[in-house]
């Protein structure tokens, strides 16, 4: 297949490039580099089946030649990033999705949307299954991301229903691994950075809020299976092992041997209280897919990558 990945220089996008190239496909990565980085794809320079195009997908997208699939992964994805880039976040989820859908339609390509657990907002149903409609504050600081992704899902379904476009929607839950931007403000990079510098880990609120962390290779496997599946309606991909942020901080301090302890900081506005994917649908429609990398194994690989990039022993 000849595949376009928007956000191809981002954390998840770049791992998808690697995987799809390894599967024998031709990959075009597109990114405006506001939160992505060419460092993530530098190792692919010169690869005969790889091309990078520096472009903002909120503007008309031109790609020469045929395409078999468009994977729309471009977006700021950390709460700190969407506070810094609120308008770009809304634009890429809305205008960028429209452009990417239009391109897929023109090329008769399959379209896959990277959506998010944020469509469930601060969920009142636990764990979150795909039929839950969510509890989102449209005008809060996170609304720029949540509502853009909700719009993107609606637009994707409209293209499917109106134009018969082949579409897929993945709702991605917290994912981590090598190449996460060190200063993206999310809990995994923050804690690992702090731990590797002997600093106290900054737990927001009392740390009783929960998250469920999925290792990047498990996420990529789920996305690839979804791309090749027949499932049109959204599918959650994530790891159902849920823990409190305080437990997560303790795990990071244990794995890094950090003696810095923990400090408590104010909880951000609209921070979801709990989050755990219900992955029964993914198991059913994606040939028994489920996460296989344990938190300890995944964190060790991630910490190793951070040590290397930070140049700390
Ligand atoms: N968090 C924290 N300390 C940090 C960064 C984040 O306690 O230094 C918390 C944050 O308040 C949230 C959870 O960790 O409850 C996950 O935050 P993240 O920014 O990774 O993404 P989210 O899951 O909220 O989209």
The span from the CA of 173 to the CA of 185, in Å, is 16
Q: Quote the pLDDT of residue 18.
A: 98
Q: Quote the pLDDT of residue 73.
A: 98
* CATH code assigned at 88: 3.40.50.720
Residue 284 falls within a domain, yes or no? no
Residues 49 and 101 in one domain: yes
193 is catalytic: no
Q: Quote the pLDDT of residue 297.
A: 98
pTM for this predicted structure: 0.98
Residue 180 falls within a domain, yes or no? no
Residues 152 and 264 in one domain: no
Residues 21 and 169 in one domain: yes
Residues 45 and 136 in one domain: yes
Residue 283 falls within a domain, yes or no? no
How remote is the CA of residue 302 from the centroid of ligand 1, in Å?
17
| pLDDT, tens digit, 9 for 90 and up, residues 20-76 | 999 999 999 999 999 999 999 999 999 999 999 999 999 999 999 999 999 999 999
* CATH code assigned at 193: 3.90.25.10
Structural domain count, the chain: 2
How remote is the CA of residue 305 from the centroid of ligand 1, in Å?
20
At 171 the three-state DSSP class reads strand
Residue 286 falls within a domain, yes or no? no
- Helix ranges, 46-139 (H): 79-84, 86-91, 97-107
| pLDDT, tens digit, 9 for 90 and up, residues 190-216 | 999 999 999 999 999 999 999 999 999
The span from the CA of 67 to the CA of 108, in Å, is 8
Phi, psi (5° rounding) for residue 3? -125, 130
Residues 205 and 168 in one domain: no
Residues 200 and 234 in one domain: no
Residues 113 and 233 in one domain: yes
Determine the average pLDDT of the residues in 99-108. Answer: 98
| pLDDT, tens digit, 9 for 90 and up, residues 240-257 | 999 999 999 999 999 999
Residues 58 and 38 in one domain: yes
Residues 232 and 259 in one domain: no
Q: Quote the pLDDT of residue 224.
A: 98
| pLDDT, tens digit, 9 for 90 and up, residues 125-182 | 999 999 999 999 999 999 999 999 999 999 999 999 999 999 999 999 999 999 999 9
For the chain, give the percent of residues with pLDDT over 70.
100
Point out the ligand 1 atom lying closest to the alpha carbon of residue 268: 11
How remote is the CA of residue 189 from the centroid of ligand 1, in Å?
10
Residue 182 falls within a domain, yes or no? no
The span from the CA of 162 to the CA of 154, in Å, is 12
Residue whose CA is at the smallest distance from ligand 1 atom 1: 187
Please name the residues in contact with 151: beta carbons below 8 A apart, sequence gap of 6 or more: 93, 94, 97
Q: Quote the pLDDT of residue 313.
A: 87
| Inter-residue contact 82 to 270 (CB < 8 Å) | no
Residues 35 and 163 in one domain: yes
Of the residues 120, 145, 176, 215, only one is catalytic, namely: 145
How remote is the CA of residue 187 from the centroid of ligand 1, in Å?
5
Residues 59 and 82 in one domain: yes
245 touches ligand 1 (CB under 6 Å): yes
149 touches ligand 1 (CB under 6 Å): no
Identify the CA nearest to 60 among candidates 32, 98, 94. 98
Residues 228 and 301 in one domain: no
Residue whose CA is at the smallest distance from ligand 1 atom 19: 186
Domain, as residue range, for 304: 187-210+242-276+293-310
202 touches ligand 1 (CB under 6 Å): yes
The span from the CA of 304 to the CA of 313, in Å, is 10
Cis before 221? omega within 30: no
The CA distances from residue 276 to 127, 141, 190, in Å, are 5, 22, 21
């Amino acid at each position: 297949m000849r595949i376009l990945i928007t956000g191809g220089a981002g954390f998840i996008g770049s791992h998808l490039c690697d995987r799809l190239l390894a599967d024998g496909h031709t990959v075009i990565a597109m990114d405006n580099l506001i939160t992505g980085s060419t460092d993530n794809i530098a190792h692919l320079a010169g690869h005969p089946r790889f091309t990078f195009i520096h472009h903002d997908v909120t503007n008309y997208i031109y790609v020469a030649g045929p395409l078999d699939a468009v994977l729309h992964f471009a977006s700021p994805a950390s709460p700190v990033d969407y506070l810094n880039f609120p308008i770009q976040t809304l634009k890429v989820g809305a205008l960028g999705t429209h452009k990417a859908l239009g391109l897929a339609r023109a090329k008769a390509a399959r379209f896959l949307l990277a959506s998010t657990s944020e469509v469930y907002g601060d969920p009142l149903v636990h764990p979150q299954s795909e039929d839950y409609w969510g509890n989102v504050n449209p005008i809060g600081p996170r609304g720029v991301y949540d509502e853009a992704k909700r719009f993107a899902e609606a637009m994707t379904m409209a293209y499917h229903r109106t134009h018969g476009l082949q579409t897929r929607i993945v709702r991605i839950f917290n994912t981590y691994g090598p190449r996460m931007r060190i200063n993206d403000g999310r809990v995994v990079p923050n804690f690992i950075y702090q731990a590797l510098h002997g600093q106290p880990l900054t737990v927001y609120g009392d740390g009783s809020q929960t998250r469920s962390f999925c290792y990047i290779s498990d996420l990529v496997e789920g996305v690839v299976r979804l791309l090749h599946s027949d499932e049109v309606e959204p599918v959650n991909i994530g790891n159902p092992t849920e823990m409190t942020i305080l437990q997560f901080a303790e795990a990071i301090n244990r794995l890094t041997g950090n003696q810095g302890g923990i400090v408590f900081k104010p909880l951000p506005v609209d921070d979801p209280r709990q989050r755990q994917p219900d992955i029964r649908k993914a198991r059913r429609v994606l040939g028994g897919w489920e996460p296989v990398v344990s938190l300890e194994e995944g964190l060790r690989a991630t910490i190793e990558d951070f040590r290397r990039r930070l140049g700390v022993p």
